[in-house]
Structure 1
Amino acid sequence: MVIRGYMSGHAAREYKAGKRMLCGVPMPEGMKENDAFPEPIITPATKAEMGDHDEDISKDDILKRGIVSEEDYTVLEDYTRKLFKRGSEIAASRG
């Protein structure tokens, strides 16, 4: 799971290319690089072989391919959001 709080990196490159969906998740119109997302977005990816780039995958594709169950996906999504929130709190407290 990848969670993004800001329009940067891969998300920014895709956005600049005109895409408004990343891993099945809509990205708002009118954003600029490094803008904060209204809410952090989860953009899953599959792990590639050594030296290759990871590949984007949507929640729907994960469930259709049976990579994890919907119940497990929900748990992973919850953990991802909680870890991101806690990490953001720690970073903010340290300036």
Structure 2
Amino acid sequence: MVQIKLTAQAAEQIKKKLAGRDLDVKLLYDMDGCSLSGTPVLRLADKQERRSDEVSVETNEIPVRVEESKLLYLDDNLEIDFSEQSYAFQLSSPNEILNGRMSLLD
């Protein structure tokens, strides 16, 4: 099962965006056409938009929802960080950087 760790900087930025709103944080794996490659992005979504094919992944801070069918494209240990320099989130695993400039769509 995928484990996600949020750095303190990432958790702070996500909490600022949530700011008292009751929304889900989703890690989407946006695939282009029928290609197996994709781009991970974060999105805030209304809880009524929950889909039956999503699972909740507990983190050290905020639960993150992920489509179960996309879990196979993700490493087992992920970290979401936030870079002040690029003002973007970064998704990485011990093996690679999956997205060095990941957006948080609201």
Normalised to the residue count of structure 1, the TM-score between the two structures is 0.30
Between 1 and 2, higher relative CO (CA 8 Å, sep ≥ 6) is seen in: 2
Larger Rg: 1
More helix by share: 1
Normalised to the residue count of structure 2, the TM-score between the two structures is 0.28
